[in-house]
């Protein structure tokens, strides 16, 4: 919390002094790496018994939001050119460590095993209230940055080399899978966040599909919109499904739990939100096929 407060208070000075900025960035990465290791080593059952557990989750969420939102700001300033974003690498490293914290807690058998103890239920509630809100911010920021980059690439007639494109795609898949662990702490709120982004995107997407028969080349604005829609679908895919290569496909346990009468007090709303979201996806496919 202290690091984040100082970061926000001295943003102008940090921007002006690259040496101070480099030291501060190293401190932040080291800090979240330490938190990630604590989460992995001490497990959720022990951490949740600490009086500072809620504060720990809130701090993770706050610094994650700051890292993501400042990355979007830098991407805007760079005009979507990821190559000129000086702070991208260390911020991505820090975000990855925060997502590892989320994955470690989501994968803890004490929670994932569906424990009926009051302590486990209280820990789940804390995660849903204090850490899960980071999911919506993560999706919004990553979708926006991908859209800005696509706009830049088409506008400048630039292309990623094959190796970099493959690395980027693999990194995206890994990050989205990790981010899904955040969203599943509170599936109803996560579905609401994604649905709002989809509904904002849909009218523009329908207009684009409607004008597709007119002809003409794909311009930067069109490419950015299509990338925005693609990324939203990727987010939804990872939130509601798991990779099942070589396995029998199955609905993730956390999704089933959220939709069951005994699993969540909001099970009906959660089920309705998933059905509504699937209908939105079907609508996109139908409009594209026309």
What's the pLDDT tens digit per position in 26-59? 888 998 999 899 998 988 989 999 999 999 999 8
At residue 22, the pLDDT reads 61
At residue 214, the pLDDT reads 56
What's the pLDDT tens digit per position in 216-267? 678 999 999 999 999 999 999 999 998 877 778 888 888 988 898 776 778 8
User: What DSSP element (H or E) covers 71?
Assistant: helix 53-77
Look at 10 and 148; give whichever has higher pLDDT. Answer: 148
What's the pLDDT tens digit per position in 158-202? 877 777 777 788 888 899 999 999 999 999 999 999 999 998 998
- Dihedral (Cα; 22, 24, 27, 32), 10-degree rounding: -110
Query: Mean pLDDT across the stretch 89-93?
Result: 92
SS3 64: helix
Query: Mean pLDDT across the stretch 132-159?
Result: 94
Note the residue count of the chain.
290
At residue 3, the pLDDT reads 52
Query: What is the pLDDT of the chain when averaged over all its residues?
Result: 85
Q: What is the DSSP string of 144-179?
A: HHHHHHHHHHHHTT----HHHHHHHHHHHHHHHHHH
Q: Report the sign of the C-alpha dihedral through residues 266, 239, 124, 57, in that order.
A: negative
Residue 269 to residue 276: CA distance in whole angstroms: 10
């Amino acid at each position: 919390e202290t690091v984040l407060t100082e970061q926000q208070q001295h943003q102008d000075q940090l921007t002006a002094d690259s040496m101070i900025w480099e030291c501060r960035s190293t401190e932040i990465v080291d800090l979240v790496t330490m938190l990630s290791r604590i989460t992995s080593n001490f497990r959720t059952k022990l951490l949740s018994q600490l009086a500072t557990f809620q504060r720990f989750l809130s701090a993770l969420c706050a610094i994650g939001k700051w890292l993501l939102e400042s990355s979007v700001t830098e991407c805007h300033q760079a005009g979507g050119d990821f190559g000129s974003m000086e702070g991208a690498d260390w911020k991505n490293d820090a975000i990855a460590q925060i997502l590892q914290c989320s994955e470690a807690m989501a994968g803890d058998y004490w929670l994932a095993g569906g424990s009926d103890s009051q302590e486990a239920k209280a820990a789940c509630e804390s995660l849903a209230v204090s850490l899960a809100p980071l999911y919506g911010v993560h999706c919004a920021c990553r979708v926006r940055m991908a859209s800005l980059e696509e706009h830049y690439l088409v506008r400048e007639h630039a292309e990623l080399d094959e190796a970099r494109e493959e690395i980027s795609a693999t990194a995206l898949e890994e990050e989205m899978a990790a981010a899904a662990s955040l969203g599943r702490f509170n599936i109803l709120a996560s579905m609401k966040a994604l649905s709002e982004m989809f509904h904002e995107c849909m009218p523009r997407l329908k207009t684009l599909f409607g004008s597709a028969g007119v002809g003409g080349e794909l311009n930067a604005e069109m490419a950015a919109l299509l990338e925005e829609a693609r990324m939203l679908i990727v987010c939804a895919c990872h939130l509601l499904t798991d990779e099942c290569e070589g396995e029998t496909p199955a609905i993730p346990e956390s999704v089933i739990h959220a939709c069951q009468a005994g699993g969540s007090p909001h099970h009906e709303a959660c089920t309705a939100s998933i059905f509504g979201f699937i209908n939105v996806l079907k609508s996109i496919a139908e409009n594209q096929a026309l």
